[in-house]
Each structure stands twice: as structure tokens, then as C-alpha cells.
Structure 1
Amino acid sequence: MSKHAPIKPADNNANMQNRNPGSSGTNSQYDQNQGNRGKEMNPNRK
């Protein structure tokens, strides 16, 4: 079982604006901040 330190407000604010360019994914704060935008911007969506 691993324990994680709580995220500081300043770190959370930075994570929400950082999509992790150059990596294979994004962080959870960024994903939550974007919300439904990815689905709405999908050109295949009707």
C-alpha cells in the first residue's frame, strides 16, 4: 500500500494548466479541468 502526499494548491493550479507535453498522457488534474471539452470538440460527435 502506497501513501501519497496531499497535492498543494499551487501544484494543483500548475497541473490544471499543464497537459504534460512530450509525455504519453496527461495528469488527472488537467483531465478534470478540461471536463467535457474533448468530447464536445470531437468532429465525429453528432
Structure 2
Amino acid sequence: MSRTANDDRSDSMNPNNDSYDYSQDNRSDQLNPNNDRYQGDDDE
């Protein structure tokens, strides 16, 4: 049986799964205004 996008979402929303920690870290990185990798476009 193959994994679906819904399975991935379920994993990332489950605090007992390692994917949850990774997704929370990624979200924090994206929301961090001091993170150079996620600054967005300055062209506007």
C-alpha cells in the first residue's frame, strides 16, 4: 500500500510521530524574521 498526501499530513499533525517535530521546526524557521532563507520577495 502506498502513502498518500493525506497520510503525510496525518503524520505531521501527530505529536507522537517524528514528522511532527520536523514540521514544527520547519514552520518556526519560516516564521522567523531573522532567518535569511525564508525572507520572501523584496521586489514588491
* TM-score computed with the length of structure 1 as normaliser: 0.40
Give the helix-richer structure, 1 or 2.
2
* TM-score computed with the length of structure 2 as normaliser: 0.41
- Report 1 or 2 for greater relative contact order, CA contacts < 8 Å, sequence distance ≥ 6: 1
